[in-house]
Amino acid sequence: MATQAALGWEREIDDVPAALAVSGTQCVVAGHGGAVNLLDMATGRLLAKLVLPGGARQVQFSPDGTVVALAGPRGYALWRIADGAVMMRTTEAASRFAWTDGNLCAVSSAGTVRVFDAATGMEQWRPVDGAVAVDDMTWFDRGRMIAVAVGGEAHAYSARGRVAAWSYPAPVRVLAGGTDGAWLCAAGDGPGVYIRGIGGTYEDLPTQGHGLIDGLTLDATGQWLAAEVDGGLTVWDLAARGGRVRPRPRRLEARIGMGVAAWRPAARGAVVATGGVDGTVSLWDVRAGSARRSAVPVARRHTGAPVVALAWSGADALLYADRAGKVTAAGFPEIAAR
């Protein structure tokens, strides 16, 4: 049951939350056990349910909000909200997906990447179909090409086939694509992040921390890049990239769980939300920090268990979930003017 709170609602789910997604008036909570709940974003009321066999680890609405993509250790699904139609497949290896702005969904499992049309659930083309496992993928060039991390390299594909293959000083496993399609960010078995231009040149950005990078995320403007490393977040302002002064890393003093960080949506970037292992949800305006001085949170909320997932709802509200199964929707008026 959902209970109303001062700035939103709280709801307990009968699963350990793994991922959240929001689109307009609806949101989705996906659990490690495979339970997938479609909820009304305003009230937390249950609208529909689905089970993904083998569990869910990733969930996201299509850009137009009509289809939900799900991926987990043993399968994936495309769920059309209007009529409840589901395209579901089981796999022997873990799956992941990536949406384009044009409502195409790329799904990888083992050494295969398939591109589906969201409206029909039909496979459109298959960029990769090999024996070497795909580690990550991201769309770039405004959705016309997809970059795939495979065998320690980044390969770029269009619907006609492979168009480029890039190698790095160390094998790469994690990718993030620039919104303008001019470059790719990659990280993997070595410290730091590599930024490669489509023309072939690259530069490396050092991280603050000694571990390997678990994830890369770009804000909607393509200016701010965040890397998850050593349970914290390192951020760069890429506006300085290519100039005489290289971007310098900014470390946020946050202890986060893997994958529990999200940039503010749309053009109003520069604010990132993090979920802490101490049960704290924090919002950071990274413009307030520098390479020498860490930013401080501009807003915080607390829950009773480690935060395991979060997602933005507009520019000043969040949906977040903790390990105990509590899902919370809350507004953050502190950032309304930022």
Query: How do the pLDDT tens digits run along the chain, 338 residues long?
Result: 555 444 589 999 999 999 999 999 999 999 999 999 999 999 999 999 999 999 999 999 999 999 999 999 999 999 999 999 999 999 999 999 999 988 999 999 999 999 999 889 999 999 999 999 999 999 988 788 899 999 999 999 999 999 989 888 889 999 998 656 666 889 988 878 888 765 555 677 776 666 788 889 888 887 888 888 877 788 888 776 554 445 677 777 667 666 688 999 876 668 999 998 889 999 998 887 665 667 788 999 999 899 999 999 998 999 999 999 999 999 999 888 77
Domain harbouring 109, CATH code: 2.130.10.10
Contacts of 76 (CB under 8 A, 6+ apart): 52, 69, 70, 88, 89, 91, 95, 97, 107, 109
Instruction: Please tell me the total count of domains within the chain.
Output: 1
Per-residue 3-state assignment (H helix, E strand, C coil) for 105-133: EEEEECCEEEEEECCCCCEEEEEEECCCC
* In a domain? residue 160: yes
* In a domain? residue 3: no
Q: Which domain holds residue 175?
A: 92-312+319-335
* In a domain? residue 289: yes
* In a domain? residue 11: no
**Residue where the block lists tokens 């302002």:** 237
* In a domain? residue 212: yes
* In a domain? residue 218: yes
